[in-house]
Amino acid sequence: MNKRRWVAVVAACALFLFSLVTAGITNKEEKKANELGQLNELLYGSDTPQEKVLEKGNAGKKIVKLQIDGTIADDGTSSVFSTASYNHSAFMKQLAAIKKDPAVKGVLLEVNSPGGSVYETAEITRQLNAIKKSGVPIYVAMENQAASGGYYVSAGADKIFASDETMTGSIGVIMSNVNYSGLLEKLGISDATIKSGALKDIGSSMRPQTEEDKKVLQAFVDSSYKRFVKVVANGRHMSEDQVRKLADGRIYDGAQAKENGLVDQIGYPDQALKALKKEQGLTGARVVEYTNGNTAFVNSWLGSNLAELQGLKPSQEKVMQQLIESVGTPQAPKAMYLYGGE
């Protein structure tokens, strides 16, 4: 062989050896990552929903109990590391698990919430509607409160139960803001914001609100309100005009809500479950709920700090930042399906 061919052969051999070494390193890294993943799952548990049997019965005919307890917002944590009463990531995974399980024949959703973020509320409702369209009946049992977004997620259920003491309603949208421009003026502090357009800093707390600001923000809130009214109208088989008469933001107790057609029956969760079994032919069904499958270690001081060092668990500062971004601030207000009396 001539010199050029020898060079080509040597280059080819070098590339071949390099590819073998690279593949070996990649395989080792993948193996190491898999082993680390298995170790983390052993230490902390899994955020995959784990089924827990509440009432024994036919495994091929299951009723799933779900719960929304607290403000509907996404704090950015997984179910394993969440300390909040409501965890959006975990709840969405539970809804996904229901859609994948052909043995689920009924859902009982217990709601105890003042509402929350517009996006997360709509996201839940979309998935509940998909479950309902698949032929799985959904009954809702309202507890202490199911106001604003708490009612939004309930409205499409096949049947809604509430106790006489339940606080519900508050159908509408709120965008809270605090304007302290007058105070700044008294202190001799002026807003020096540079902006490309008059409305670029709309909602700012540092300058007086203009009529144009109010007009734009009101139109934004009204748009969200129209969607809320439509959800209630479709779910409760009312006209939008009928809903608007009830949807001026006022609250109702369970008896008032029933009288106005916002709930179907006065009762508690156990009565709602009993009705679901009887009315949907689910007598003898197995009743289950989902848990996040975490371990005791994850809640210990050592486990919590180790998870944070590994980047598996966000710090408290990051959780707070995510929560603030989800619900908005006086400087960046957001439209909320939230009871405004809190």
How many other β-carbons are positioned within 10 Å of the β-carbon of residue 277? 20
Cα 300 to its chain centre, rounded Å, is: 26
* Given 89, 148, 163, 170, the catalytic residue: 148
Catalytic member of 32, 200, 214, 215: 200
What are the helix (H) ranges across the chain? 3-44, 88-100, 118-133, 149-152, 181-186, 211-236, 240-246, 254-259, 269-279, 301-309, 316-327
* CB-CB contact of 258 with 264 (8 Å): yes
How many angstroms separate the Cα of 56 from the Cα of each of 62, 283, 287? Answer: 10, 11, 7
Residue 172 DSSP SS3: coil
The C-alpha atoms of residue 256 and residue 164 are separated, in whole angstroms, by 8
Q: Which residues contact 306 (CB under 8 A, 6 or more apart)?
A: 43
d(Cα 107, Cα 146) in Å, to the nearest integer?
A: 17
Distance spanning both ends of the chain, measured CA to CA: 87
Three-state DSSP class for 336? strand
Residue 176 falls in the annotated catalytic set = no
The rounded distance, in Å, linking the Cα atoms of 2 and 205 is 80
Which positions ≥6 away from 148 have C-beta within 8 Å? Answer: 114, 115, 170, 171, 172, 174, 336, 337, 338, 339, 340
Distance CA 256, CA 163 (A): 11
Amino acid identity, position 336? M
**Where do the DSSP E strands lie in 70-158?**
104-113, 115-117, 138-147
DSSP state of 247: -
Q: Answer yes or no: 148 catalytic.
A: yes
From the centroid of its chain, how far is CA 76? Answer: 10
How far apart, in whole angstroms, are the C-alpha atoms of residue 293 and residue 79? Answer: 9
Active-site annotation, residues: 148, 200
